[in-house]
Amino acid sequence: MQMSSDDFSIRVSNLSKSYKIYSAPRDRLKQFVISIIEKLFKRPVKNYFREFHALKDISFEIKRGETVGIIGRNGAGKSTLLQIICGTLSPSQGEVLVNGKVAALLELGSGFNPEFTGRENIYLNGALHGLSHSQLDTRFNEILIFSEIGEFIDQPVKTYSSGMMVRLAFSVIAHIDADILIIDEALAVGDIFFQQKCMAYLRAFQDEGNTVVFVSHDTSAVLGLCSKALLLTGHAGKHYFRSAKEVCAQYIEGLYEERVTNSALIDPKVQNNKVIKLEEISAIRVKSQLTIGSVPVDNLIRVSSFMSEAKGFGASGAKILDAWIEDGFGKRIAEIQGGTTANFCILVKAFKDIKYPAYGLILKDRLGQFLIAEGTDLTFRNQSISLLANDSAKVSFKFAMPILFEGEYTIDLAVAEGIGHDHIQQHWMSDVMVFTSLNSRLAHGILGFQNLQISIENLRTSN
Amino acid sequence: MSKFFDPHKAQPTSLLALASSLGRNRQLIFQMTKREVVGRYKGSAFGLAWSFLNPILMLIIYTFVFSVVFKARWGEGSTDSKTQFAILVFVGMIVQALFSEVVNRAPSLILSNTNYVKKVVFPLEILPIISMAAALFHALISIFVLLIAFILFNGYLSWTVIFIPLIFLPYVILVLGFSWILASLGVFMRDVGQTIGIFTTAMMFMSPVFYPVSALPAKYQIWMLLNPLTFIIEQFRSVIVAGQLPDWSGLGIYYLIALMFMWVGYVWFQGTRKGFADVL
């Protein structure tokens, strides 16, 4: 253990949690009765249970301002650990110290009373976190707006969808002045817009110097948000607390190692680390067989229509009216294959003269990270594309649709005035379209290569 | 005091800690009690009016059954009016109803709120207080109905009714103690919840609800006083019907025992709550 200092948020020392498992209910009774009798006669007490260690000898310290991801397989003890940190579950051994006000989102709809309305639950949860009624009165509107629950706020929470529930829960814990946020995989339930909103909130929360602890199976989310990560590996008691990058790499490695050892794929004879050059193999090649396959296009991406009610900001000198993807014949399409040509069109109307207009298109993933950001700024720097007041412009971006990993992506559009970094945003619209990538060939990553051709040459060594 | 917070520090068990928890969570207690009271009649046409209608209807039924059907008389040689019997029974029923409402619910208080145990840090010790406060609300309305009925039937009201709160308070304290113990036991032994209804029904007949203690043979009367409801029911009757002052020394002893019992119940609850999350 490091020496104590005061700038920590959470300190866990030698923490263990074990459960007594009885194979039959009557063993529990036997244990109870017989142990009393054996103690009475000063005989050694016999145990009728097996001990299951959910956590064994865990120690780590989270500094103030750090964001830490906790990853691990199902059953590795992630949720148990969070519950112990929050104080809802008591450890078998070891201790936890917390420095600051904790707000936790332990599970979907945690702490909500399903019979109560959303409004009542906000007050109830706020009171649990030490806020007075009048403090909650002043924050109520902010919470309501953040949650996007709208008029359903006066309906019982049991009638909410899981998405509404998590929106409400997150909105509450976001508004109670916590120093430490603890979030347990719950966010995955919200839709992409809410996830991005939560991520934006979490980033702002981090920037204020607060602490976030975040449980996820999703290493990309951990890498995107966290500086450090804790990997739990189950009851063996091994745990690693290092930089997020190292820990995520180790986690993924662990997943594969397990699969590989399970299927015993590796021929033990090949397991030496000698470097063999291609020429060496070619020289002794007897027969080779060349197989070339172009990767079948199988990445269907659904394209939503333009959402004119999406949030926007800017100086309002111009407005984005519409956006769509069209095929080669100028027809709007709602589906496109990854890798094929997309013609992405934006319709913009100017309300004043814009001398150096710049149009931009951003593709974001579900964490709100920019994957691709393209603009007209550089391309058209030397040409006059000035837009006069009340004129409209149709801007088309023609590109090969990227191959996307399965999931949802959103589009931001922007029209600005100026050159280079000296921009005035006239209209920036966030999340105006959603791309949903179905049946992607990608098993990992975010993007795939376009026009990918793979050739495989089997080389046979002569003995 | 350390500025760091240890979420697993042993729960405080002193009466002072209880008082500070009450103060800290007063908003929560008030909100949840309100919810509990209003929620009971939610969706019904009369709404909160039911909490008035219920005791009035009960009183009418008692009056009819005991004065018309049974032509019952209260004890030996009494020359009570027809309605007096109903009033006397109603007093007993108010005290008994508070007991059975709180005690019947106690074993399921924690069980039905697993969310508050496992998912948030909730001051669990206030759950029995909320259930008591809701029951007390209904008892107070019943007492109000009782006093009105007494005036209507008899045309007067003794000034000694001002001692009713003084008589009720130690009873509330004692029943709270029960509630804490049962709430905790109910988590570890589910059988408690099954048997508690039998226990409270038995208590109804073992308490002087439908008869005065004096109706029993003298050698049983002393045993009857071991029942915590007996003294309260008798005192209640004596201030309202007979217009007598409370039995001060008896009340003093009752206060002491009630406080001790409540403390034991609170200590038990605080000591065992650590294990709730493990078995739920």
* pLDDT value at residue A329: 81
Q: Provide CB contacts within 8 A for A340, sequence distance 6+.
A: A297, A400, A401
Q: Where are the domains of chain B?
A: 26-279
CB-based contact B116 A85, cutoff 8 Å:
no
Of A73-82, A339-348, B195-204, least confident by mean pLDDT is A73-82
Coil/strand/helix, residue B190: coil
Evaluate if residue A354 carries a pLDDT over 50. Answer: yes
CB-based contact A120 B116, cutoff 8 Å:
no
| B27 CB within 8 Å of a chain A CB | yes
Residue from the list B4, B25, B122 with its beta carbon closest to the beta carbon of A97: B4
Q: Report the pLDDT averaged over residues A81-103.
A: 87
- Report pLDDT digits (tens) over A195-209: 888 888 888 898 898
Chain A residues close to B120, C-beta within 8 Å: 86, 88, 104, 106, 110-111, 125, 128
pTM > 0.90: no
CB-based contact A110 B275, cutoff 8 Å:
no
CB-based contact A90 B122, cutoff 8 Å:
no
| B189 CB within 8 Å of a chain A CB | no
Identify the band that residue B241 occupies on the pLDDT scale cut at 50, 70 and 90: confident
Whole-angstrom distance, CA of residue B211 vs CA of residue B188: 37
User: Which residue would you say has higher pLDDT here, A27 or A268?
Assistant: A27
CB-based contact B274 A104, cutoff 8 Å:
no
Evaluate if residue B105 carries a pLDDT over 90. Answer: yes
| B126 CB within 8 Å of a chain A CB | no
Q: Report the pLDDT averaged over residues A108-119.
A: 78
Identify the band that residue A2 occupies on the pLDDT scale cut at 50, 70 and 90: very low
Q: Are A156 and A115 in contact (CB under 8 A)?
A: yes
* pLDDT value at residue A101: 87
Whole-angstrom distance, CA of residue A231 vs CA of residue A244: 9
* pLDDT value at residue A264: 46
Nearest Cα of chain B lies from the Cα of A82 at a distance, in angstroms, of: 10
Q: Are B241 and B88 in contact (CB under 8 A)?
A: yes
* pLDDT value at residue A420: 66
CB-based contact A106 B119, cutoff 8 Å:
yes
Q: Report the pLDDT averaged over residues A148-159.
A: 89
Evaluate if residue A46 carries a pLDDT over 60. Answer: yes
Q: Report the pLDDT averaged over residues A82-103.
A: 87
Q: Chain-wide mean pLDDT for chain A?
A: 81
Chain A residues close to B29, C-beta within 8 Å: none
Q: How far is CA A188 from CA A166, A195, A366, in A?
A: 9, 7, 10
Nearest Cα of chain A lies from the Cα of B30 at a distance, in angstroms, of: 11
Chain A residues close to B117, C-beta within 8 Å: 88
* pLDDT value at residue A296: 61
User: Which residue would you say has higher pLDDT here, B26 or A280?
Assistant: B26
CB-based contact B121 A19, cutoff 8 Å:
no
Whole-angstrom distance, CA of residue A188 vs CA of residue A244: 20
Is 2.70.50.60 the CATH classification of the domain at A300-448?
yes
User: Which residue would you say has higher pLDDT here, B110 or A224?
Assistant: B110
- Portion of chain B with pLDDT greater than 70, in percent: 95
* pLDDT value at residue B205: 87
Chain A residues close to B27, C-beta within 8 Å: 127, 132-133
- Report pLDDT digits (tens) over B223-239: 888 899 999 999 999 99
* pLDDT value at residue A184: 81
* pLDDT value at residue A266: 46
Burial of B182 (0-12, 13-18, 19+ CB in 10 A): buried
Evaluate if residue A285 carries a pLDDT over 60. Answer: no
* pLDDT value at residue A236: 62
Q: Where are the domains of chain A?
A: 300-448
- Report pLDDT digits (tens) over B171-219: 999 999 999 999 998 888 888 888 999 999 998 888 998 888 888 888 8
Q: Report the pLDDT averaged over residues B87-112.
A: 92
Q: How many CB pairs under 8 A join A and B?
A: 78
Q: Are B33 and B127 in contact (CB under 8 A)?
A: no
- Scan for tokens 């975040």, then name that residue: A214
User: Which residue would you say has higher pLDDT here, A453 or A159?
Assistant: A159
CB-based contact A95 B6, cutoff 8 Å:
yes
* pLDDT value at residue A261: 56
Identify the band that residue A226 occupies on the pLDDT scale cut at 50, 70 and 90: confident
Coil/strand/helix, residue A389: coil
Chain A residues close to B121, C-beta within 8 Å: 86-88, 102, 128
Whole-angstrom distance, CA of residue A116 vs CA of residue A165: 12
Q: Are A119 and A129 in contact (CB under 8 A)?
A: no
A354, β-bridge pairs: A387
Evaluate if residue B264 carries a pLDDT over 70. Answer: yes
| B32 CB within 8 Å of a chain A CB | yes
CB-based contact A98 B6, cutoff 8 Å:
yes
Identify the band that residue B2 occupies on the pLDDT scale cut at 50, 70 and 90: very low
* pLDDT value at residue A1: 40
Evaluate if residue A283 carries a pLDDT over 60. Answer: no
Identify the band that residue A292 occupies on the pLDDT scale cut at 50, 70 and 90: low
- Portion of chain A with pLDDT greater than 90, in percent: 11
Number of neighbouring beta carbons within 10 Å of residue A272 = 7
Identify the band that residue A237 occupies on the pLDDT scale cut at 50, 70 and 90: low
Name the residue in chain B with its Cα closest to that of A120.
Answer: B31
Q: Provide CB contacts within 8 A for B256, sequence distance 6+.
A: none
Name the residue in chain B with its Cα closest to that of A87.
Answer: B7
| B9 CB within 8 Å of a chain A CB | no
Identify the band that residue B169 occupies on the pLDDT scale cut at 50, 70 and 90: very high
Q: Provide CB contacts within 8 A for B2, sequence distance 6+.
A: none
User: Which residue would you say has higher pLDDT here, B114 or A190?
Assistant: B114
Chain B residues close to A104, C-beta within 8 Å: 120
Evaluate if residue A378 carries a pLDDT over 80. Answer: no
* pLDDT value at residue A3: 46
B/e letters for B154-176, b = 16+ CB within 10 Å, e = fewer, are eeeebebbebbeebbebbbbbbb
